[in-house]
Amino acid sequence: MTFRASILTLYPDMFPGPLGASLAGRALEDGKWSLDVTNIRDFAADKHRTVDDTPAGGGAGMVLRCDVLAAALDSVADGRPMLAMSPRGKPLDQARVRDLSAGEGAIVLCGRFEGFDERIFEARDVEPVSIGDYVLSGGELGAMVLLDACIRLLPGVMGAASSGEEESFEQGLLEYPHYTRPYEWEGRTIPEVLRSGDHAKIAAWRKARAIEDTRLRRPDLMERHGDARDQSPSGARRKEES
Ligand code: SAH
């Protein structure tokens, strides 16, 4: 099954962009995912090809018209999840990415200017998705972030060696830190345990570091996942279920 991505944008030339390089680019060439890009402007109804208008109630900027957005969405809608990039959406996380990558693909609407006429979210089954608590100038980079995260999880894209199960966020934790040669660099050495060859000891060290670093850097993650990664029986059980 090919993961099918459909992008709706005012800047179709931005695609595939970075998604045409490296891992995602090779997977695109190999047909592991497909991409089609629709110019929202093609769905403007007037001769000036207008896609936006001034905000109701006044204020700066322009708002994307819901009739134009709906026509563009309807032209590609086929049951795949429809997402609209928006800082007002639910923040994207690895669980959602896994979910999406296990499906048939996604239709991704990219905003510009002040964003979308809110009625599009009432009239169509389109979910606002944010890539973080900051404001971009457009949804295109957000769409690329979302797709890149999905594509690397598609079967056969990363290869068997890295299933991604140990990675950051998969256990509600940041991943442990990595080291490679040279053994000594600028007076710093690699932690001895990693050279011990004792796989149980290495696993324990990595787990401890993952917990410690998550506590320090992402107390919000620790909070959200409770004791899911603790060694306690209840914690272990929760981890298995997730
Ligand atoms: N006025 C809006 C921001 C508009 S930014 C507000 O304050 O909420 C223009 C477009 O960039 C948005 O429509 C959206 O598609 C995209 N965008 C900006 N920040 C984003 C974010 N954090 N996540 C996803 N998309 C974002």
pLDDT at 233: 42
Going from the Cα of 116 to the center of ligand 1, the distance in angstroms, rounded, reads: 9
pTM (predicted TM-score): 0.92
The answer to whether residue 206 sits within a structural domain is yes
Residue nearest to atom 2 of ligand 1 (CA): 114
Query: Which residues, judged by CB distance below 6 Å to any ligand atom, belong to the binding site of ligand 1?
Result: 85-88, 110-112, 114-115, 130-132, 134-136, 138-139, 142
Residues 86 and 181 in one domain: no
Number of domains observed in the structure of the chain? 2
Per-residue pLDDT of the chain (242 residues; tens, 9 = 90+): 899 999 999 999 999 999 999 999 999 999 999 999 999 999 999 999 999 999 999 999 999 999 999 999 999 999 999 999 999 999 999 999 999 999 999 999 999 999 999 999 999 999 999 999 999 999 999 999 999 999 999 999 997 656 667 789 988 999 999 999 999 999 999 999 999 999 999 999 999 999 999 999 999 999 887 755 554 444 444 444 43
pLDDT at 227: 57
CA distances 164 to 19, 42, 106, 109, 235, Å, are 19, 39, 21, 27, 21
The answer to whether residue 160 sits within a structural domain is no
The answer to whether residue 45 sits within a structural domain is yes
Going from the Cα of 84 to the center of ligand 1, the distance in angstroms, rounded, reads: 10
Going from the Cα of 127 to the center of ligand 1, the distance in angstroms, rounded, reads: 14
Residue nearest to atom 26 of ligand 1 (CA): 86
The answer to whether residue 29 sits within a structural domain is yes
pLDDT tens digit sequence for 20-48: 999 999 999 999 999 999 999 999 999 99
The answer to whether residue 158 sits within a structural domain is no
Parent domain of 130 = 3-151
Residues 28 and 92 in one domain: yes
* CATH code of 187's domain: 1.10.1270.20
Q: At which of 126, 151, 176 does a domain end?
A: 151
pLDDT at 234: 41
Residues 212 and 99 in one domain: no
Residues 130 and 206 in one domain: no
pLDDT at 163: 61
pLDDT at 160: 63
Cβ atoms 90, 128 nearer than 8 A: yes
- Per-residue b or e along 167-194, where b marks 16 or more CB atoms closer than 10 Å to that residue's CB: ebbbbbbbbbeeeeeeeeeeeeeeeeeb
- Pick left, alpha or beta for residue 17 (phi over 0 → left; psi -120 to 50 → alpha; otherwise beta): left
